[in-house]
Structure 1
Amino acid sequence: MSPPELTRLGVILSDRGSRYAVSGAPVRSRAEVDAVLAALKADRAYAKATHNTWGAVLPTGALKSDDGESGAGMVILRMLERAGLENHLIIVTRWYGGKQLGGDRFRRVQDAVRAYLEIPELNNG
């Protein structure tokens, strides 16, 4: 099974040395989520990232992973739910820059998800 089409916006913002990228893909199952994550991490830069946090709302329920960035998966999931975007996976990747961001890390995750949700293709469907 080939993974669904992955959209990568690449690094979209940085804060105190940490860099954030956002990616996503349409998914309908946990197996497709895993396939998209594997495809993303096939790129060595993403595989070496500090965190690849993600959320998805599927027909079987909501799934999320903080990948060590405590609470970030829930931030992504809530934004997906508010946007009404189902059957879609959003991944926020962070490369840690050496300084703790505290609560600002959630704002950066929100900024990254917001950038992804503004992709025209998502709003024309």
Structure 2
Amino acid sequence: MSLTVFEKIISDRGSRYAVSGGPASNRDEALALLSELKRNKRFAKATHNSWAAVLSGEGVKDDDGESGAAQIILQMLERAGLTDHVVIVTRWYGGKHLGGDRFRHVVDAVRHYLAETGR
């Protein structure tokens, strides 16, 4: 498994974001990457680890309590044509509601991942 992690990429009103991902050809491999990420206590204690992947032409996603976040990740992966790859956006809640800005941060996190990994 090769998991790529970009930490502390966005900070807003106390909430902090990271983005990570790696190759996965099925749901089990995607979940294995998520487990690998959560072996780091900081990520295990995160408020949300929302993720999505396009696996064998099918979109798979999990909001992990951040309603709507995984759908945004999935749409961006589909638009980028990135298949058999899982992207995880992690958020540590900082105590203040971000409203619609939380979706902008998810978009920015995925853009960061795609740009940094050359995808």
Does residue 75 of structure 2 align to residue 78 of structure 1? yes
Residue 88 of structure 1: which of 85, 88, 93 is its match?
A: 85
Task: Kindly indicate whether the alpha-carbon contact (under 8 Å) linking 2:50 and 2:63 is maintained by their aligned counterparts in 1.
Answer: yes
| Identical pairs, percent | 61
Letter in 2 for 1:17: G
Runs of at least 5 residues in structure 2 that lack an aligned partner in the other structure: none
What is the 5 A alignment of 1:10-29? 10-29=7-26
What is the 5 A alignment of 1:12-91? 12-59=9-56, 61-91=58-88
Where does residue 97 of structure 1 map in the other structure?
A: 94
Paired positions, count:
119
Cα drift, residue 60 of structure 1? 5.3
Cα drift, residue 11 of structure 1? 1.5
Look up the SS of the partner of 2:118 in the other structure.
Answer: helix
Q: CA RMSD in A?
A: 0.9
Distance in 2 (CA, whole Å) between partners of 1:75 and 1:60 is: 17
Distance in 2 (CA, whole Å) between partners of 1:91 and 1:34 is: 11
Does residue 2 of structure 2 align to residue 5 of structure 1? yes
Q: Which 4+ residue blocks in structure 1 deviate beyond 6 angstroms?
A: none
Cα drift, residue 20 of structure 1? 0.2
**TM-score normalised by length of structure 2:** 0.97
Distance in 2 (CA, whole Å) between partners of 1:35 and 1:93 is: 16
Distance in 2 (CA, whole Å) between partners of 1:81 and 1:30 is: 16
Where does residue 122 of structure 1 map in the other structure?
A: 118
Look up the SS of the partner of 2:54 in the other structure.
Answer: strand
Distance in 2 (CA, whole Å) between partners of 1:73 and 1:48 is: 19
Distance in 2 (CA, whole Å) between partners of 1:13 and 1:93 is: 10
Letter in 2 for 1:28: S
Look up the SS of the partner of 1:53 in the other structure.
Answer: strand
Task: Kindly indicate whether the alpha-carbon contact (under 8 Å) linking 2:50 and 2:90 is maintained by their aligned counterparts in 1.
Answer: yes
